[in-house]
Structure 1
Amino acid sequence: MTDFFDFLHNLTDPVWIMDNGGLYLLLFIVFIETGILLGFFLPGDPLLFITGIILANNTLTEVNPVVSLLYWVLLISIAGILGNFLGYWTGNRSGKILLQRKDSLFFKKKYITQAQEFYEKKGGSAIVLARFMPIVRTFAPIVAGIVKMDLRKFSIFNIIGSFLWVGVLVTAGFLLGENEWIKNNLEKIIFLIVAIATTPVIVKIIKGRLRKKTA
């Protein structure tokens, strides 16, 4: 378990990332987080921001940083799109089986329930909004598959959501990446990103528990 938490911590270290697969490792992580149930714990938001910082400092190649930015935004977005398609397929093909599974350390049915409520409230736009919400972004495409959302509609929101999510966070890191204060306080920035991203999820959980107590 210690090795597992060490791995998660290393994912917030630009030097470690570049020494262990570089940004191609990020492609794999984004694909897992957005398409496979066990990927809900991965820190997608901080990783995208860190990617922007790496690109801003031009540590990959001698290619123009802006060209590198566009190239990696495209590749990472595609990884996120493919991940969501896998999640949709999983929900479409085995939704009933997933809902019958018992809770475990890495799987809890309440996550699917929360994603389903979010999806029902926001409709197709939930696929886009879920990209910016940890845990929910993993389960939203699966729920879309379970409720058999129209594939064409899902595809449109999936593509838009992935490009927005990746584009916003990577570009933010890119624009701020050369700032010395950002470099020296990266852990604080990452904590802030995680806090902002998880706040809606936490608020929703608290509201759900309060409703149960008052019911």
Structure 2
Amino acid sequence: MIAALTPFLLMLGPVALLVAMGIVFAETGLLVGFFFPGDSLLFTLGVLAAGGLLHLPLWVVALGVALAAVAGDQVGYLLGRRFGPWIYNRPESRWFSRSHAERAQSFFAKHGPKAVVLARFVPVVRTFTPVVAGVARMPRGRFTAYNVLGGLAWTLGLLGVGFYLGGISLIAAHVELFAIGMVALSLVPAAVGLIRHRSTRSAPTEVAQEPAAPRVSV
């Protein structure tokens, strides 16, 4: 998708930032992160900013994307608090995979509140982690603090890498290929987690139990 999106962003100029913000927000705010290329999008924006193709300073791009990331997580958190059980009981569809939600739940149970920060760097898992935090009744103030930290680290990190590498002529001339490479690298942790999750589910158990909701210490 990013290969097709890049020429579109080039045509839009400064308006490309608004499109990118909408995509970043939708990743977690609309629970469709498996569909949108957040990591590769930020990398591409950094490369385009380095070449002056967005006609915007890097700090403006970073501020806009970070705000969209934080806002999306906040909406996901509120959805979890209000509609958590309904979300997890939805039937499988093109737009919802229960296995993705279960992986985020396991990720949150393993890492606790810091999962809100760590999940930002794991595609698909970051989509449902704010929802899990809401279901677990993680205190709003604490969630917001981790949310802002994760959003800033993710935005500045990936934009910074793209901006730095965008100064290299080879990468600037083949931004689509390098963006696709970023997608592949970012999916490695998710693929490993999925394999482990499926291995755990396929292991024989004596008694089947409903997964317990994750707990968060105040």
Q: Check whether TM > 0.5.
A: yes
Structure 1 residues 22-41: aligned runs within 5 Å: 22-41=16-35
The residue number in structure 1 matching 2:115 is: 126
Structure 2: 5+ residue runs without aligned partners? Answer: 205-218
- What are the superposed Cα offsets for residues 46-92 of structure 1, whole Å, 9 maximum, x if unpaired? 1101111111111233x6xxxx1112111110110000000001111
- Contact kept? 2:20, 2:41, Cα under 8 Å: yes
Could you say if the C-alpha distance between residues 201 and 30 of structure 1 is closer, same or farther in structure 2, counting changes exceeding 3 Å? same
For 2:46, which of 45, 52, 68 is the aligned residue? Answer: 52
**Residue type matched to 1:172 in 2?**
V
Structure 1: 5+ residue runs without aligned partners? Answer: none
Aligned to 1:124, the other structure's residue is in SS state helix
Greater shift, 117-126 or 188-197, is seen at 188-197
Greater shift, 142-151 or 20-29, is seen at 20-29
- What are the superposed Cα offsets for residues 8-48 of structure 1, whole Å, 9 maximum, x if unpaired? 5422x1x3113244121101111111211134310001110
Could you say if the C-alpha distance between residues 147 and 42 of structure 1 is closer, same or farther in structure 2, counting changes exceeding 3 Å? same
Greater shift, 183-192 or 99-108, is seen at 183-192
- Contact kept? 1:10, 1:17, Cα under 8 Å: no
- Alignment root-mean-square deviation, CA: 1.6
- Aligned residues, how many? 202
The residue number in structure 2 matching 1:175 is: 164
Q: CA deviation at 1:170?
A: 0.5
The residue number in structure 1 matching 2:10 is: 18
**Residue type matched to 1:83 in 2?**
G
Aligned to 2:142, the other structure's residue is in SS state helix
| TM-score of the pair, normalised by structure 1 | 0.88
- Contact kept? 1:128, 1:160, Cα under 8 Å: yes
Task: Find runs of 4+ consecutive structure 1 residues off by over 6 angstroms.
Answer: none
Q: CA deviation at 1:192?
A: 2.2
Write the distance in 1 (CA, Å) between the matches of 2:27 and 2:129.
11
For 2:100, which of 111, 133, 138 is the aligned residue? Answer: 111
Write the distance in 1 (CA, Å) between the matches of 2:201 and 2:21.
40
- Contact kept? 2:33, 2:123, Cα under 8 Å: no
Percent identical among aligned pairs is: 35
Q: CA deviation at 1:177?
A: 0.7
Normalized per residue, the structure richer in helix is 1
| TM-score of the pair, normalised by structure 2 | 0.87
For 1:211, which of 186, 200, 206 is the aligned residue? Answer: 200
